Amino acid sequence: MIVSIRHKGLRLLWEKGDASKLPAAQVPKLLFILDTLDTMVSLEPLASLASLRLHPLTGMYKGFWSLHVSGNYRVIFVYDEGDVYLVNYLDYH
């Protein structure tokens, strides 16, 4: 279950269905990712989707997991026992 979302555009999309702060071409994939994060009880559903390229991050983002959206853009999040925290949408490269 999604507990917290850092990115204002993602939060607006998730809470109000307002996609105005996000690239229109990426909204369907972002919605899919948010829906999946909200309903999953483990990381296995994400790991089985090769197109999302789930992987743990290191360095300043240690403790976060990353999902590929498009180009350099990723959704990153902290996962803890079925809960998802600090969901963010960024280019960390």
Catalytic residues: 93
C-alpha dihedral (23, 25, 28, 30), degrees to nearest 10: -40
| CA distances in angstroms from 63 to 33, 53, 66, listed in the order given | 19, 16, 10
- CA–CA separation, 61 vs 77, rounded Å? 9
Q: How many CB atoms lie within 10 A of CB 11?
A: 17
